[in-house]
Amino acid sequence: MTTPHTRNWLQTLVAFDTTSRNSNLHLIEHVRDALAAHGVPVQLFKSPDGAKSNLFATLPAQDGGTQGGIVLSGHTDVVPVDGQQWDTDPFALTERDGRLYGRGTCDMKGFIAAGLALVPEFLAMPRRKPLHFALSYDEEVGCIGAPVMLEQLKLQGQRFDGCIVGEPTSMQPVVAHKGINVWRCKVHGKAAHSSLTPSGSNAIEYAARLICRIRDLAEAFKAQGPYDPFFDVPYTTMTTNRISGGIAVNTIPEHCEFAYEFRNLPGMVPDDIQAQVEAYVQQELLPRMRREFAEARIEFESLAGAPSFDSADTEAINVLVQALTGDREKRKVAYATEAGLFQQAGIPSVVCGPGAITEAHKANEYVELAQLARCEQFLRKLAQSL
């Protein structure tokens, strides 16, 4: 049975509209004040412009120690509700048929709420090791916030035994995920009246050639691998998802811009994949364009990225989480989380949280009360194990 404290915390968190385009400071400051009321030390690590912030809090061990222990990691931002048809107010928690509806209930304020609700219980436990909260900003737009926090913790000399990233996994441990890499490409040709085609250089058509090349690379990964059968999509994927260009039907377009992403299996180097895209541009596409227009150019810009994550079966954090959940199945997922960033920082990690990823980002997003109850039970066992 979910405690009223978790439901109350989730109601509070959902009411803060922390869509990534907005500031999360009101939520962060509310959590800071609530933890401070319990005597919990809190640090805020703000974004460069000061508009957003990470929060890091430590519940010390019984002897006052703050080194080691487990980090509970969650992101505070949510995806937009623009254009979605909701049956309820997305920023007002609504209970119906054993479910709690609202933006972020599943991804991933439910996990944060369960952890915060149990703080008084955690503090009353005679723990030998500390327990930490790491709340980040801008995960949904490229895992931008967490690196700021991790760098500061590294400078402070902080050490941790492990990290649990509470993304929605239906409370089933996930030991690996793909990396995500998002790129923008800008193609610059030469405008001309469409009746004088030879005097122009068509940016859209050359962009189309490059998009087809990206699709060819994707087909090669699908046909030739490498593969990992534990993933739902067992190979690296590439896809172009946005494009714009041109000003009129009778004008050769001077500019075309598109965005593409690839999700690489652990062990594959993202720079090597991007290098194949850029090699095609340098060796084939640009020479063709410049025969038409000497000043033609193609530019690439990295928009976002998160590293892949792959945890060994023997990692202590994996063994612990499997024991606490009673679930020893090996799971790997195609979506990305902040676990790869924690792993890069030398912190062994696992992904495990309430809710189903299939409900994330959708209209009428929800988390089941039963999932939150399982999360509470898991977190109590975790704290007791410390």
124 CB contacts (<8 Å, ≥6 apart)? none
Query: What per-residue confidence (pLDDT) applies to 156?
Result: 95
Q: Which domains does the chain have, with CATH numbers?
A: 4-176+309-385 (3.40.630.10), 179-306 (3.30.70.360)
Question: Each residue of 356-370: pLDDT tens digit?
Answer: 999 999 999 999 999
Q: Summarize the confidence of residues 18-23 as an average pLDDT.
A: 96
Q: Summarize the confidence of residues 12-39 as an average pLDDT.
A: 97
Query: What per-residue confidence (pLDDT) applies to 56?
Result: 98
Nearest to 40, CA basis, from 64, 16, 23, 57: 57
Query: What per-residue confidence (pLDDT) applies to 121?
Result: 95
Q: Token match 């990823």: residue?
A: 357
Helix/strand/coil percent split, the chain, to 5: 35, 25, 40
Nearest to 44, CA basis, from 26, 60, 17, 22: 26
Question: Each residue of 124-171: pLDDT tens digit?
Answer: 999 999 999 999 999 998 899 999 999 999 999 999 999 999 999 999
Query: What per-residue confidence (pLDDT) applies to 312?
Result: 86
Lookup: tokens for 159: 């050490």
Distance CA 343, CA 172 (A): 19
**Please, which pLDDT band fits residue 347 given cuts at 50, 70 and 90?**
very high
Catalogue the active-site residues.
77, 139
Average pLDDT score over the chain: 95
Query: What per-residue confidence (pLDDT) applies to 115?
Result: 97
> Is the confidence at residue 3, as pLDDT, over 80?
no
Nearest to 134, CA basis, from 188, 205, 57: 57
> Is the confidence at residue 2, as pLDDT, over 70?
no
Question: Each residue of 182-240: pLDDT tens digit?
Answer: 999 999 999 999 999 999 999 999 999 999 999 999 999 999 999 999 998 999 999 99
> Is the confidence at residue 117, as pLDDT, over 70?
yes
**Please, which pLDDT band fits residue 314 given cuts at 50, 70 and 90?**
confident
The answer to whether the CB of 342 falls within 8 A of the CB of 166 is no
Q: Summarize the confidence of residues 258-287 as an average pLDDT.
A: 97
Query: What per-residue confidence (pLDDT) applies to 1?
Result: 60
Of 201-205, 252-256, 311-315, the poorest mean pLDDT is in 311-315
Query: What per-residue confidence (pLDDT) applies to 119?
Result: 97
Residue 212, classed as helix, strand or coil, is helix
